[in-house]
Structure formats: structure tokens, C-alpha cells
């Protein structure tokens, strides 16, 4: 394989370092950052998901993804590449969008707007309000007391 179109996992232009939204209140944590400029609609990263065993409780573990449209969620998975480091934010600040292919256990992340090299990459987690592990960041993102 010689290019990103043929690769199942691709994150050549993303790096991981301390998040720009980390605070003393919620702690230090990492984020994903663009290492080049992206145009709206451009592919940023592609990866695969590993489904976790049924019965796994992902409510307390921020490194796993909800991996179905069912509510309440019962299917959890771990993502490859830098995907676990894209932090959540409010809809008006998100700059990426993840397309999830449940049947193929893979995902693609696209630029939702133009992104500059050095910008932190964010998308809105659908599970932000109901997952215990996101309680601290939910306060920051949604300005809750």
C-alpha cells in the first residue's frame, strides 16, 4: 500500500499533545492537533474500531467510543490512530465530523470547516451528557456550574 486511499488506518497529519482545553479543574489530558491545513470536507484520518466484549461498561472510560445508534448504548469499541484524542466541544466550536461505518468496524474523520495547522481537532460526542467520564468536560464545554 502506497497511499491513504488504500490504507485502513491513516493519520499522517495529526499529532497528539496536551489539549488546549485542559484545566486544573478537570486535569491534564491530551488532544489531537492538525499538523497541516485542511479544507472543509477534506479527509483528516481513517481508522478501524475494535469492538469490546458485550457487558463492558464504557461509561467510566473516555478512551472508548459508543459504537451503535442504540440508546442506551450497549456496544463499545476502541479506535485506532489519533481518534481517541479528538476532544469533545460544543457544536459551534467543532471542526471535525466522524462518519461511522458500524457494519465494517471503521470510521473516517473529515474537516467540518477549514482548519489551520496547529489547531486542536474537536467534534461533539453524542454521549457527552450521559457518560460519567465526561462530567468534568461537560461542565467546561456547556458552561455548567
CA–CA distance, 14 with 100 (Å, rounded to integer)? 19
pLDDT tops 60 at residue 124: yes
Class of domain 14-50+82-129: mainly beta
Please, which pLDDT band fits residue 38 given cuts at 50, 70 and 90? very high
10-31 tens-digit pLDDT: 678 998 888 888 777 767 788 8
- Provide mean pLDDT across the span 62-81: 77
Domain boundaries, the chain: 14-50+82-129
pLDDT digits (tens, 9 = 90+) for 92-112: 889 999 999 999 999 999 999
- State the pTM of this model: 0.79
Per DSSP (E only), the strands in the chain are 14-18, 30-34, 43-51, 65-66, 76-79, 87-88, 96-101, 106-111, 122-123
Amino acid at each position: 500500500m502506497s497511499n491513504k486511499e488504500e490504507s485502513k488506518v491513516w493519520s499522517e497529519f495529526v499529532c497528539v499533545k496536551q489539549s488546549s482545553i485542559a484545566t486544573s479543574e478537570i486535569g491534564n489530558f491530551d488532544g489531537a492537533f492538525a499538523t497541516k491545513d485542511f479544507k472543509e470536507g477534506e479527509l483528516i484520518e481513517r481508522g478501524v474500531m475494535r469492538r469490546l466484549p458485550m457487558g463492558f461498561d464504557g461509561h467510566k472510560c473516555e478512551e472508548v467510543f459508543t459504537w451503535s445508534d442504540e440508546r442506551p448504548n450497549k456496544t463499545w469499541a476502541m479506535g485506532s490512530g489519533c481518534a481517541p484524542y479528538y476532544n469533545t466541544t460544543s457544536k459551534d466550536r467543532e471542526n471535525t465530523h466522524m462518519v461511522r461505518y458500524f457494519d465494517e468496524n471503521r470510521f473516517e474523520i473529515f474537516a467540518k470547516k477549514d482548519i489551520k495547522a496547529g489547531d486542536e481537532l474537536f467534534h461533539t460526542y453524542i454521549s457527552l451528557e450521559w457518560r460519567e467520564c465526561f462530567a468534568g468536560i461537560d461542565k467546561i464545554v456547556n458552561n455548567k456550574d
